[in-house]
Amino acid sequence: MSGPSFHYVGATQLHDALSHGARRGAAYLAGGTDFLQLWKTGLATPEIVIDISRLPLAEISHAGNALNLGALARLSDVSAHGDVKVHHPLVAQAVLASASGQLRNQATIGGNLLQRTRCPYFRGEHLACNKRAPGSGCGARGGENRQAALFGTGSGCVATHASDLAVALVALDAEIIVAGATGERRLALRDLYPLPGATTAPDSTLADGDVITTINIRDATRFAARSTYLKIRDRASFEFAVVSVAAALQVEGGIITAARLAAGGIAPLPWRLHGSEAALVGCAAGEAAFVAAGERAIEGARPLEKNAFKIPLLRNAVIRALQTIGGPL
């Protein structure tokens, strides 16, 4: 790869990475499966590359009712981890639906959560895109928008979020720990992703130089027996979701006592289906409740010219996911 020169920093301690990351033109490199593509095509032009792959942030641990994932844990290590498969199968399923085996061996959890959109208008250097060039417009609104979002859009952007894992983690109310120049803070994963504005479409709420260090999932083992990740895509392997659904239920005596639902491929961020959850809780686990949840999932959808097919697809995907997990054990 040829291009402008840059300064390389191999960080082995978090404080070293943060001290360099706050500098102008700095970018972090871990697995690099998304960042290197952006760099090669000129969508990323770092002046300082900080290699954080050797930071001690790859631990996977399960204690009590909590799962802690180091942000540098590889996707393949997470999906193969015994505690993840047993206690948090929704996470393992979402990871296995992500990319190819070779990429999962290289890609990190933190990088997966921060990967950039696959919208062709962002990836096309000379096309209008507020994510790439704020104020340039959103070419997808009146152009090729088959993959565009149904919810959470504005005049500035209709791109969808790319991560399968993020959908599952948002459904399970995961939180992240972020280290930055001002110290460490915790926030719900859903708060990592802002909605687009009229002329801008930021990817995350992270400040320059921030590093995600850990992902925490608490009080989710109760969903282990009834959870699934359903991904609908244009081809069977290594493809991003047209629509996906992360679904988890807790059922006692045939009655749904807790429900978690989130969808991918339909919004600029993992889209929590709160209306569908409300339609399920307190109802008998059966077809009537599942259909009601599917109908609530599509309320407020705002399709464009070429993506209206996603509305019935989302409805049916929610129903299918609930049918998969809602029957007798």
Q: What is the structure's pLDDT at 126?
A: 87
CA distance from start to end of the chain: 53
Q: Are 71 and 109 in contact (CB under 8 A)?
A: yes
Q: What is the structure's pLDDT at 139?
A: 96
Phi-psi category of residue 170: left, alpha or beta, with phi > 0 → left and psi -120 to 50 → alpha? alpha
Domain span(s) for CATH 3.30.43.10 in the chain: 1-56
| DSSP code string of 238-296 | S---SEEEEEEEEEETTEEEEEEEEEESSSSS-EE-HHHHHHHTTSBSSHHHHHHHHHH
Highest-pLDDT range among 9-18, 95-104, 233-242? 9-18
Q: Are 110 and 33 in contact (CB under 8 A)?
A: no
Sheet holding 26-29, edge to edge: 7-10, 48-51, 26-29
Write the pLDDT tens digit of every residue in 13-38. 999 999 999 899 999 999 999 999 99
Domain span(s) for CATH 3.30.390.50 in the chain: 225-326
- Per-residue confidence at 160, pLDDT binned at 50, 70, 90? very high
pTM of the model: 0.96
Out of 3.90.1070.10, 3.40.50.1980, 3.30.390.50, 3.40.1280.10, select the CATH number for domain 225-326.
3.30.390.50
Question: Is pLDDT at 214 greater than 80 in this prediction?
Answer: yes
Secondary structure of the chain: what % helix, strand, coil (to 5)? 30, 25, 45
Q: Return mean pLDDT, the chain.
A: 95
Write the pLDDT tens digit of every residue in 53-100. 999 999 999 998 899 999 999 999 999 999 999 999 999 999 999 988
The number of beta carbons lying within 10 Å of the beta carbon of residue 177 is 16
State in words which class domain 1-56 has. alpha beta
Closest CA to 216 of 58, 97, 70: 70
Angle between helix 164-171 and helix 89-96 axes, rounded to 10 deg: 160
